[in-house]
Amino acid sequence: MADEALTPVIVQDAATNRVLMLAYANEEALRRTRETGEAWFWSRSRNELWHKGATSGDWLDLVDVRVNCEQNSLLYRVRPHAGVCHTKDASGKARKRCYYRALKDAGTLEHL
């Protein structure tokens, strides 16, 4: 799989089953994830391999990797160390998941 061939990866807390984030992997990110036991992705914004936690300290320890029926998405089941999201809560700590908001009743994706 070339860098251009990115597979969406759902990241789930293995203990609580909470959905934490969604990111993308290429073959190299998946290989490193399985070799190191920590979550690696391909950053679409920086266009580079992304070792989650390398700058934030918020590593995700891998429990296992699952694949869907059509083999076009992955599920990383992980144990988070602390925060997960790059945004912070009111106390200044990294949020524990990226899905901290309900979609507003009148909202669309453009108007959130």
Residue type, 65: V
- Choices 35-43, 50-58, 98-106; region in contact with a second copy by CB under 8 A: 98-106
Q: Indicate left, alpha or beta for 37 from its phi (over 0: left) and psi (-120 to 50: alpha).
A: left
Rounded CA-CA distance 29/7 in Å is: 10
Tell me which of 3, 34, 54, 93 binds a second copy, using CB under 8 A: 34
Q: 3-state class of 34 per DSSP?
A: helix
- Smaller CB distance to a second copy: residue 21 or 39? 21
The answer to the question of residue 46 lying near a second copy (CB under 8 A) is: no
CB 94 within 8 Å of CB 83: yes
The answer to the question of residue 67 lying near a second copy (CB under 8 A) is: yes
Residue type, 62: L
The answer to the question of residue 14 lying near a second copy (CB under 8 A) is: no
Interacting residue ranges for a second copy, rule: CB under 8 A:
1, 7-8, 10, 12, 16-19, 21-22, 27, 30-31, 34, 64-71, 73-75, 85-87, 95, 98-103, 108-110, 112
